[in-house]
Structure 1
Amino acid sequence: MLSAKGTYSMLGKETLWQAAESSHALLDGVGVSHAIVDGVAVCLHGYQRNTIDIDLLVRNDDSEKLRNAFTASGWTWDADQKQFSSESGAVVQFLIAGERAGRGADVRLPDPDDADSVTVLEGLPVLNLARLIESKIACGQGDARRMHKDFADVVELIALKKLNRSFERKLHQSVRPAFRELLQNARGK
């Protein structure tokens, strides 16, 4: 299986991968807990998928420290888009721990310091498979424009990881019915 780094190299997105690594080094260097979520996280878990930005889960209390670290390293803050851009054009957006994973969702984004929610893949902190699937379903349920992409990511992860019905016990109960439906889709039933 191709690594996430290899996937982004193949797609001509080395800059995005380099931005993920440098963002991690930058935040780790100033003691800001963080975890990769969304598209890059999906790729780190093995589904070779393209994306245009890096989404990082952080704590609200670390906002000032994070902003100072990125700014001091030459990243540019875009207040309208609520994101940082590197000189090479890579974009980093942030999600805040404790906020809802999707509009109206019961699922809350975990603390990036929670060892039960975060794992390390290819040297980077990333939401573990259960929290990633849970957040993708919750986000998709709350936003019709994101639903097809988020649900497709979940179907691909289910197929790739050969997940079965027993995996649903790791998920928040509010997303379990959707997981069961996506599980059937992954099996082609």
Structure 2
Amino acid sequence: MVTPRLHEATWERMIQAVEDVRERCELAARTLEAAGIPYAVVGGHAVANWIASIDRGSVRNTRDVDILVRRDDLEHIKAALDSVGFDYAEVTGIHLFVKRPDGKPSEGIHIIFAGERVFPNDPVPAPEVNESARSAAFQVLELEPLVRMKLVAFRRKDQVHLQDMVRLGLLDATWPGRFPEPLAERLREILADPDG
């Protein structure tokens, strides 16, 4: 086992890591907009936008970027993102774009197809791209479809994002009624124990 050690410039490395992800997200968004391709930023960056609207100190960082697009636009997206230095790949069924020359899939632009189930057993499909609004930097998924996506995925990080939204008052006891089961039950679980 490797013994971890702190680098002298740990703070700067942390800041640069966050900045690198922000730049990738904004570059991808600007490129899609310039090409006239509808999209919405989803996942952790969409959550961060909603959280920051209430309390910027509660924003959590994420290393990848999730973007919702229409499958019919994939070839146009490949050409547009290639033009600004992204290589397309499909890894274990995930469509993604990695920044040249040395990007990693875990730090890539991950594509989610609008109106389709991410996994076959998902209770509902992903939202449509028009369920979005303009933030300062890009199109971001509206709160209700974003919560729906988080409830479908319901991994630990999704649960933490939902807990943050509850803690900041973005979600309350009226929200489970907006979703079908089992999503409503998942949200009731979060609301019952927002601190986990």
TM-score, with normalisation over the residues of structure 2?
0.78
Note if contact 1:130-1:171 (Cα within 8 Å) is conserved in structure 2: no
SS at match of 1:161: coil
SS at match of 1:133: helix
SS at match of 1:135: helix
Q: Matched residues in 1 for 2:149 and 2:127: separation?
A: 10
Structure with higher helix content: 1
Structure 1: where are the runs of 5+ without partners? 1-8, 141-146
1:120-151 deviation per Cα after TM superposition (whole angstroms, max 9, x unaligned): 222311111111111111112xxxxxx21111
Q: Matched residues in 1 for 2:28 and 2:134: separation?
A: 15
Structure 1 residues 40 and 94 mapped into 2: Cα distance closer, same or farther (>3 Å)?
A: same
2:49 to 37, 44, 48: 44
SS at match of 1:109: coil
1:90-118 deviation per Cα after TM superposition (whole angstroms, max 9, x unaligned): 51010001112555122211210x2xx21
Note if contact 1:27-1:34 (Cα within 8 Å) is conserved in structure 2: yes
Aligned residue for 1:144? none
Q: Is residue 150 of structure 2 the alignment partner of residue 139 of structure 1? A: no
Q: Is residue 91 of structure 2 the alignment partner of residue 83 of structure 1? A: no
Structure 1 range deviating more: 10-19 or 129-138: 10-19
Q: Percent identity?
A: 25
Q: Matched residues in 1 for 2:148 and 2:119: separation?
A: 10
Note if contact 1:35-1:126 (Cα within 8 Å) is conserved in structure 2: yes
CA apart distance, 1:162: 4.7
SS at match of 2:97: strand
Note if contact 2:31-2:81 (Cα within 8 Å) is conserved in structure 1: yes
Q: Matched residues in 2 for 1:150 and 1:163: separation?
A: 14
1:68 to 61, 75, 79: 79
CA apart distance, 1:22: 1.0
Larger radius of gyration: 2
Note if contact 2:64-2:108 (Cα within 8 Å) is conserved in structure 1: yes
The root-mean-square deviation of aligned C-alpha atoms, in Å, is 2.2
SS at match of 2:112: strand
Structure 1 residues 13 and 182 mapped into 2: Cα distance closer, same or farther (>3 Å)?
A: same
Aligned residue for 2:116? 99
Note if contact 1:85-1:92 (Cα within 8 Å) is conserved in structure 2: yes
Aligned residue for 1:183? 191
Aligned residue for 1:3? none
Note if contact 1:137-1:178 (Cα within 8 Å) is conserved in structure 2: yes
Structure 1 residues 110 and 162 mapped into 2: Cα distance closer, same or farther (>3 Å)?
A: closer
Note if contact 1:100-1:107 (Cα within 8 Å) is conserved in structure 2: yes
SS at match of 2:82: helix
Aligned residue for 1:18? 23
Q: Matched residues in 1 for 2:118 and 2:161: separation?
A: 15
Note if contact 1:11-1:50 (Cα within 8 Å) is conserved in structure 2: no
1:25-61 deviation per Cα after TM superposition (whole angstroms, max 9, x unaligned): 1001111110111111111111411211101000000
Q: Which amino acid aligns with 2:98?
A: S
Q: What is the correspondence of 1:168-179 to structure 2 with a 5 Å cutoff?
A: 168-179=176-187
